[in-house]
Structure 1
Amino acid sequence: MSDVKIFTYEEIAKHNTREDLYMVISGKVYDITAFVDEHPGGEEVLIDEGARDATGPFDDVGHSEDARELLDKYYIGDVDPASQPIAAPSTTNNVSSSSAPQGNALRILVPLVIIAVWVYFRFLA
């Protein structure tokens, strides 16, 4: 049996920059630093959701099975079950530490832009 490293939310919250970014999904800790440039949704969403439990946003996006399997590559340990989630420090300049409204707006805005482009080329171009 291999030893699994256990992280507290306090430890995870310290890894909150583009150059050092951890994320929790379903109780597992991932060092996604190397993935920031590769993320198809852009780096901003990872940085906004990084350094904390991102299970909800990860599931809400509806990631493919391939994306879920890719997590294995970045797995570094588990969250200490006795640890309590804490608010991660903001990594953006002069922006509220709550990124939920930004993330929700982005999730709404992107499909609307796609629909608008489709309508333009289908009916107006």
Structure 2
Amino acid sequence: MEGDQKLHHFDDVSKHSATKDCWLIIHGKVYDVTPFMDEHPGGDEVLLAATKKDATNDFEDVGHSNQARELMDKYCIGKIDASTIPVNRVFIPPEQTPYNPDKTSDFTIKILQFLVPVMILGVAFAVRYYTRAE
């Protein structure tokens, strides 16, 4: 089947990103995992999160078994045209500032982050010192 696999364009594959129609790109191949959505041990959310990008890293990071890798052949529907994959398909959320409802200055927060643990240790040593049996 290797020689006669259909070549898919990234934009076409990206359109298949729903529970009832889910395609993934893994190691340069396109997989229609729609029939596997209910059976996937990690749930359908894991598969849906891997759509609209090259999911190879997601797949490898989990450490799938040889049995899982063999099962993939059943869902392979072709290859991806690598030249159509955008360079950056990983969503990186913008850096969020920490929650600070009373608008305390950064300097004050840093001082408190240092002093509170030091004070707790001081109290612990004082309790240990004064409650120690003679």
Q: If the length of structure 1 is used for normalisation, what is the TM-score?
A: 0.66
Q: Which residue of 2 aligns with 1:94?
A: none
Structure 2 gaps of 5+ residues are 94-134
CA distance in 2, matches of 1:49, 1:99: 14
Rg larger in structure: 2
Alpha-carbon shift at residue 53 of structure 1 (Å): 1.1
Q: Which amino acid aligns with 1:64?
A: S
Q: Secondary structure of 1:82's partner?
A: helix
Which consecutive unaligned segments of at least 5 residues does structure 1 have? 89-96, 101-125
| Equivalent of residue 98 in structure 1, options 71, 75, 91 | 91
**In the alignment, structure 1 residue 49 sits paired with structure 2 residue 42:** no
% identical aligned pairs: 47
Q: State how many pairs are aligned.
A: 92
Give TM-score scaled by structure 2 length.
0.62
Deviations 1:76-116 (A, max 9, x none): 0001132123777xxxxxxxx9388xxxxxxxxxxxxxxxx
Higher relative contact order (CA 8 A, sep 6+): 1
Does structure 2 retain, via aligned residues, the 8 Å contact 1:21–1:51?
A: no
* C-alpha separation in 1, matches of 2:10 and 2:80: 7
Segments of 4+ moved more than 6 angstroms = none
